[in-house]
Amino acid sequence: MSNTQTYAGRIHIYSAPAALTQHIEWAINQHLNQVVKITWVNQSLSPGCLASELEYKSKLPVAAKIATALKSWHYIRCELRQIDLRTSDATLYRITPDLGLHQASLASNGDVVINENQLNQIINNSYSHKMLQSNLENALGSSWEIELEPYRIALASGTLGSISKSG
């Protein structure tokens, strides 16, 4: 069996209560099947919360399992991106306390891609222009983008000195 790491990903935990960080680490370590020490920093937008970034490589696709585990703790804001290194197919998972989990396919430039089946379903379930617009925005994850953007900016503002890495 090959030791080739077929999948690569990045986990951005934008906001998590400090009391959950150990549980989050356990869940990530369990699904990556390795011990990863995650560096946490204070999240200035949410007092009492911490933030972190982690890059990983894995033989198996694990982002969906990690996203499902993280979603089970209601108070977390995070984003996971995973790419299949053989095909360049990428998937994005976004989680917020109010909106829940959003999953989308990504183009190589990072744009969300809506596939043919999704478009047909959106068109067939949209009885007005306003509903079509709302369904398209939901498929693109617009509400998740709006909610997560201030947290992305706060995390990118230099509060993290280094990114935790695994694999």
What would the pLDDT profile of 98-119 be if each residue is shown by its tens digit? 999 999 999 988 899 999 999 9
Residue 4 has pLDDT above 90, yes or no: no
How far apart are the C-alpha atoms of 79 and 96, rounded to whole Å? 9
**DSSP bridge partners of 146:** none
Share of the chain above pLDDT 90, in %: 83
How far apart are the C-alpha atoms of 147 and 77, rounded to whole Å? 9
**pLDDT (0 to 100) of residue 165:** 55
For the chain, what is the radius of gyration of the CA atoms? 17
What domains does the chain contain, in order, with CATH numbers? Answer: 7-112+141-165 (3.30.70)
Residue 161 has pLDDT above 50, yes or no: no
CA nearest neighbour of 10 among 34, 32, 42, 26: 32
Residue 98 main-chain phi, psi, to 5 deg: -85, -30
Two tokens, residue 16: 């998590």
pLDDT digits (tens, 9 = 90+) for 65-95: 999 999 999 899 999 999 999 999 999 999 9
Burial of residue 162 (CB within 10 Å: 0-12, 13-18, 19+) is exposed
pLDDT digits (tens, 9 = 90+) for 8-39: 999 999 999 999 999 999 999 999 999 988 99
Residues 29-66: b if buried by 16+ CB within 10 A, e if exposed: eebbeeebebebeebeebeebbbbbbebbbeeebbeeb
* Residue at 27: amino acid letter: A
Q: Are 155 and 19 in contact (CB under 8 A)?
A: no
How far apart are the C-alpha atoms of 40 and 18, rounded to whole Å? 9
Residue 151, Cβ neighbours under 10 Å: how many?
Answer: 23
Residue 164 has pLDDT above 90, yes or no: no
**Helix or strand run (H / E) with residue 84:** strand 77-84
Q: Considering the entire predicted model, what is its pTM? A: 0.89
